[in-house]
Amino acid sequence: MRALITNDDGIDSPGLLALARAAADAGLEVVIAAPAHEHSGASASIIATQGASVTAAGGKGTVRSERRSLPGFETAYAVHAAPALITLLALHGSFGGTPDVVLSGINRGANVGGAIMHSGTVGAALTAAQGGVRALAVSLDVGLVESSAEHWETAAVLARQALARLLGAPAGTVLNLNVPNVADAAGLELVEAPLAPFGIVQTTMTEIAGDDVRLSIREHRAEEAPGSDMERLAAGHATIPAVKTIAQRTG
């Protein structure tokens, strides 16, 4: 099976490489195509970038990409586009054949609750589902403050377990895996839990001054959503809710 590996943190992310290695170890044919620059928070936006400027997809009819080599992978594509557009391009065979599965991540930071709608990592997976392709979004819960110890291999081990579950699911299924940032994957199990009604942080409007609006960030506590994916992740479990399943079209 052919797997597209993408993300929203960019082509140089260590999480991308860890996920690609996990897919290769699982026996998949790996194609890496990821944003040339970070696109965190891009959701399922379909945009192409040309240097510092941004144009709507199709504005010039072209999306620029560059061939790269990554450790263990002779060819990868650094694409000047958001991850959802990269996925869409892959579904049209832009990187040497259409993928059977899309793996997005490993994201630096959790993607839980209703806030996943803003995630470029999840947006790529949802775009795959729209094309009837199974997809897995993977994130490592490194916390809001960047950690010096980011355990990508732990997330990669759990991603392989989730991949086995994904391949047995209906076409168009999206799984959203979040993994605690711990050194050892032993003892971690995939726990299904509903999405929290909110994300770890929430943006609120605090002040209107003329034409300007001042925003603030509120951090939610896991105990505010008992039994949810956010609460289960905070308790040290690897969470894997099914985000979306699109019935395979026939006829």
Homologous superfamily assigned to 2-245: Survival protein SurE-like phosphatase/nucleotidase (3.40.1210.10)
Q: Annotate 138-166 with DSSP letters as a single string.
A: EEEE--SSPPS---HHHHHHHHHHHHHHH
Phi and psi of 199, rounded to 5°?
Answer: -95, -175
Residue 97: per-residue pLDDT: 87
**Count of beta carbons in the 10 Å neighbourhood of residue 12:** 14
Residue 50: per-residue pLDDT: 57
What is the reported pTM? Answer: 0.84
Residue 93: per-residue pLDDT: 93
| Structure confidence by residue, pLDDT tens digits, 28-45 | 999 999 999 888 777 777
Phi and psi of 185, rounded to 5°?
Answer: -80, -10
Domain positions in the chain are 2-245
| Structure confidence by residue, pLDDT tens digits, 211-235 | 776 665 556 566 565 677 888 898 8
Q: Which percentage of the chain shows pLDDT scores above 90?
A: 57
- Per the prediction, the chain carries an average pLDDT of 83
Which residues are within 8 A (CB) of 74 and not within 5 positions of it... i.e. 6 or more apart? Answer: none
